[in-house]
Amino acid sequence: MDCIERSKEIRSLTMQCIASIGVGHIGGCLSLADLLAVLYTKHMNIDPKNPHMKGRDRLVLSKGHAGPALYATLASFGYFPKEELNTLNKIGTKLPSHCNMNLTTGVDMTTGSLGQGISCAVGMALGAKLAREKARIYCVIGDGESQEGQVWEAVMFAAQNKLNNFTLFVDNNGMQIDDYTKNIINMEDYEKKFKSFGFNAIRIDGHDIDAIDAAVEKAKKCKTRPTAIILDTVKGKGVKFIEEVGVGNHSMPFTVADYERALAELK
C-alpha cells in the first residue's frame, strides 16, 4: 500500500473508530493522517510483530487526544485487529481517547496532558543516545499545544543536548477549542521561534505526501541539531463537511451515518 492509499485507510479507520462511540476528537485526527501514513509506511524502523523491538523508532503523540488516528494507523499496520477500533472509549477498552502506553500495543508514551509528551520524547531521544542505539524519536504536538510553556522547556533541552535523533512535528491546523489559534495566543512565527531555540526548522504543506517524506529525510540528514517540521494542515482534512464545521470539529458528534457519508467522499 502506498502512502496515499494508506492515508485514506487511516482516515477511514479513524472515522470508523470514532463513529463506533458517536463522538470524538475528529478534526485533529484527520489533520494528522497524511503524516502518520508517511512516517509508518516509509520511515519508522518498527516491527508490528515485535512491538517492543530493541532500538526501534518511537512516536510520541504529545497531542494525545488524536489517539484514534494513531490507533487507526497501528491497526492498519497490524499491531492489533481492526475490529478492536470499535471498542474506542467503551468501558474496559484498550483504546482510550487519550493515548496510554500501558493499554495499547504500539503506543510509545502515555499522553493527554498537553505539553508533557514532548518532554518524554526528548527523554527517549536522550535515552537512545545513552544506549548507543540508532533509534529516531518522533513527536507530534498541536499548534494549540505549543502554548504550553513545557513545550519550550523541552525544545531548549533538546537543542542544548544536540538531540539530532529527535524530530518534532507541529500539527499547525490553526484551531483550538475556543477559537482560531491566532485569536487565542498567536504562536507565529513557528519557523523563527524554533530556529531561535536552536532547532533546524522546516515548514511544509502537511497534506503533501512527498513534501512530508522529503522533510523527514532532511531531518535525518541534519546531524547538528534536532528538527521541527511545521505542518500546515486543515483540521478535519479529507472530509468536506467536517472541515466546514471549523473550530467546532475539535470534538464533535459523529454517527455511523456520518461515517458512511464521509466514506463516500473519501473515495
CA 83 – CA 255 distance, rounded (Å):
17
Burial of 260 (0-12, 13-18, 19+ CB in 10 A): exposed
Q: Which residues bind other proteins (CB under 8 A)?
A: 60, 100-102, 108-113, 115-128, 130-131, 149-150, 153-154, 156-157, 160-161
Give min distance, CB of 161 to other proteins, in A: 7
Q: Which is nearer to other proteins, 40 or 166 (CB)?
A: 166
User: Based on CB atoms, which residue is closest to other proteins, 72 or 128?
Assistant: 128
Min separation Cβ 78 and other proteins, Å: 23
Nearest-10 Cα torsion for 98, 228, 234, 247: 60
Minimal distance, residue 116 CB to other proteins, in Å: 5
By beta-carbon proximity to other proteins, the closer residue of 62 and 181 is 62
CA torsion angle for 46, 47, 52, 53 (degrees, to 10)? -80
- State the nearest-atom distance from the C-beta of 102 to other proteins, in Å: 5
Min dist. Cβ of residue 215 to other proteins (A):
23
Torsion angles phi and psi, residue 228, rounded to 5: -110, 125
**Which CB, 30 or 154, lies closer to other proteins?**
154
Task: Say how far residue 63 (Cα) sits from the centre of its chain.
Answer: 7
Secondary structure E strands in 20-130: 23-24, 58-61
145/232 with CB nearer other proteins? 145
Instruction: Assess contact for 175 and 147: CB atoms under 8 A.
Output: no
